[in-house]
C-alpha cells in the first residue's frame, strides 16, 4: 500500500494568524510587525490570508489598527485579503480599506453569539442583509468584493454543548439565500470529532460546491488535524489554519489555538496532498513568533523539524 495519495486534489489553506491568531494575544503587536508578518505570508503560496478584522476596538483591542494594516500591506496578485466583519460599520471600514473579501460571522448558538457579538442571531442576520446590500452597491461600482459567511460554534458551543445539525444546515441555507459567495463552518472551541465532521461536510456539499466551503478547526482538544483529514476525505478542500497554532475567540471560555498551518502543510506534504505552500519558509517564519509575541506557541513542527531533518548518530552509538 502506498503511504501517499496519488493525484490528490489540492488542499487550499487560508492563513488566519493575522486575525484569529492575534485577536487573543495579550501583548500589543505593533502595526509594522503585523504588516511585516502579512507581507511575509504573502510570499509563501497562500491563496487567501485573513489579514484582520473591523470589529469594535473595545471588543478586540489587539486588532484596532485594521485600517492601517490593510492600507499598508503589499498586495500580492493571486492573494485574496479577507477581513472579518460583524456589522455594517465594520463593512464600511473594510471596504474603505480595500479588503477583497468580507467574512461575516455569526454563531449557531444564541448564547455564544450574544457573548461574542452582543446580539441575537436574528440581529446578526439583519446586519448581514445590510452588509450584502452595501457590498452589492460597491460592486456595482468599481470595487469587486466577495462575501463569506461563517457559522461559529457549528460543531458545539462552550455554553450550550451539542448544536443540532439541522440548525447549522438551516444557517447555511440562509447564508446562501442572502447571496454569500462562500461559507465557513467553524469549530470555535475544538468540540468537533472526525465522524461528526465527515457527516456534516457531506450534507453541506449536497448544497454547495467544495470551492465554496471552508472548514475552520481549533485544536483545543487535540483533534484538529484528524478533523481536517475526515473533512478532506468527505470532499472538503479549503481549510483555515494559523501560523504557530495561534488563535482563539476571547469570548469563548477555554478557547485555544487554530490548527497550526505548518503542522497542516507538513501533514499534506507527507501524505502527498498538494498545497502550493513553501513549508521550509513557513517554518522559518513560525520560529520567529515567540520573539514577536513573548511566549512559546502551540505548533509542533517548528519545534520538531520535518521528518527529513535527521540527527547525527551519537558517538556512543557508533562505538557499540
Catalytic positions, please?
249
- 45 or 248: whose CB is closer to ligand COA? 248
User: Contact with ligand COA (CB under 6 A): which of 56, 72, 193, 281?
Assistant: 56
- 20 or 262: whose CB is closer to Zn ion? 20
- Give the range of 17-25, 40-48, 92-100, 173-181 binding Zn ion by CB under 5 A: 17-25
Task: Write down the H helix ranges in 179-310.
Answer: 194-205, 224-233, 261-271, 279-287, 289-293, 301-304
Q: Please give the Cα distance from 87 to 7 (Å, whole number).
A: 42
Pick from 8, 11, 47: which is nearest to 231 by CA? 11
Residue 268 in the binding site for ligand COA (CB under 6 A) = no
User: Contact with ligand COA (CB under 6 A): which of 18, 21, 90, 156?
Assistant: 90
Q: How far is CA 136 from each of CA 69, 80, 139, 173, rounded to the nearest angstrom? A: 24, 18, 5, 19
Closest CB 150 distance from ligand COA, rounded Å: 8
Residue 151 in the binding site for ligand COA (CB under 6 A) = no
Q: Are 228 and 161 in contact (CB under 8 A)?
A: no
Residue 263's contacts (CB-CB under 8 Å, 6 or more residues apart) are 225, 245, 299, 300, 301
Closest CB 255 distance from Zn ion, rounded Å: 8
Q: Please give the Cα distance from 129 to 127 (Å, whole number).
A: 5
Residue 320's contacts (CB-CB under 8 Å, 6 or more residues apart) are none
- 116 or 275: whose CB is closer to ligand COA? 116
Residue 109 in the binding site for ligand COA (CB under 6 A) = no
Residue 25 in the binding site for Zn ion (CB under 5 A) = no
- Give the range of 30-38, 89-97, 141-149, 171-179 binding ligand COA by CB under 6 A: 89-97
Location of C-alpha cell 486588532: 63
Binding-site ranges for Zn ion (CB under 5 A): 20
Binding-site ranges for ligand COA (CB under 6 A): 23, 53-57, 59-60, 84, 86-87, 89-90, 93, 105, 116-118, 249, 251
Amino acid at each position: 500500500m502506498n503511504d501517499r495519495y496519488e493525484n490528490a486534489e489540492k488542499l487550499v489553506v487560508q492563513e488566519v494568524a493575522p486575525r484569529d491568531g492575534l485577536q487573543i494575544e495579550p501583548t500589543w503587536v505593533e502595526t509594522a510587525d503585523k504588516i511585516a508578518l502579512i507581507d511575509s505570508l504573502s510570499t509563501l503560496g497562500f491563496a487567501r490570508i485573513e489579514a484582520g478584522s473591523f470589529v469594535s476596538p473595545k471588543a478586540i483591542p489587539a486588532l484596532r489598527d485594521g485600517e492601517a494594516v490593510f492600507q499598508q500591506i503589499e498586495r500580492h496578485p493571486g492573494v485574496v485579503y479577507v477581513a472579518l466583519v460583524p456589522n455594517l460599520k465594520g463593512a464600511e471600514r473594510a471596504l474603505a480599506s480595500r479588503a477583497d473579501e468580507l467574512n461575516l460571522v455569526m454563531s449557531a448558538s444564541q448564547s455564544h453569539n450574544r457573548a461574542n457579538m452582543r446580539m441575537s442571531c436574528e440581529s446578526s442576520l439583519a446586519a448581514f442583509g445590510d452588509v450584502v446590500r452595501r457590498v452589492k452597491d460597491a460592486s456595482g461600482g468599481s470595487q469587486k468584493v466577495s462575501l463569506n459567511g461563517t457559522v461559529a460554534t457549528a460543531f458545539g458551543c462552550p455554553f450550550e454543548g451539542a448544536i443540532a445539525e439541522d440548525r447549522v444546515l438551516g444557517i447555511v441555507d440562509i447564508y446562501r439565500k442572502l447571496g454569500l459567495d462562500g461559507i465557513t463552518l467553524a469549530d470555535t472551541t475544538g468540540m468537533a470529532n472526525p465522524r461528526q465532521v465527515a457527516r456534516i461536510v457531506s450534507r453541506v456539499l449536497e448544497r454547495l460546491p467544495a470551492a465554496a466551503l471552508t472548514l475552520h478547526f481549533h485544536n483545543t482538544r487535540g483533534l484538529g488535524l484528524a478533523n481536517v483529514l475526515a473533512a478532506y476525505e468527505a470532499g472538503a478542500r479549503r481549510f483555515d489554519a494559523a501560523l504557530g497554532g495561534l488563535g482563539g475567540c476571547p469570548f469563548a471560555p477555554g478557547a485555544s489555538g487554530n490548527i497550526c498551518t505548518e503542522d497542516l502543510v507538513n501533514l499534506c506534504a507527507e501524505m502527498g496532498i498538494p498545497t502550493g505552500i513553501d513549508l521550509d519558509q513557513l517554518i522559518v517564519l513560525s520560529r520567529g513568533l515567540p520573539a514577536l509575541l513573548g511566549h512559546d506557541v502551540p505548533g509542533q513542527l517548528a519545534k520538531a523539524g520535518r521528518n527529513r531533518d535527521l540527527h547525527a548518530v551519537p558517538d556512543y552509538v557508533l562505538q557499540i
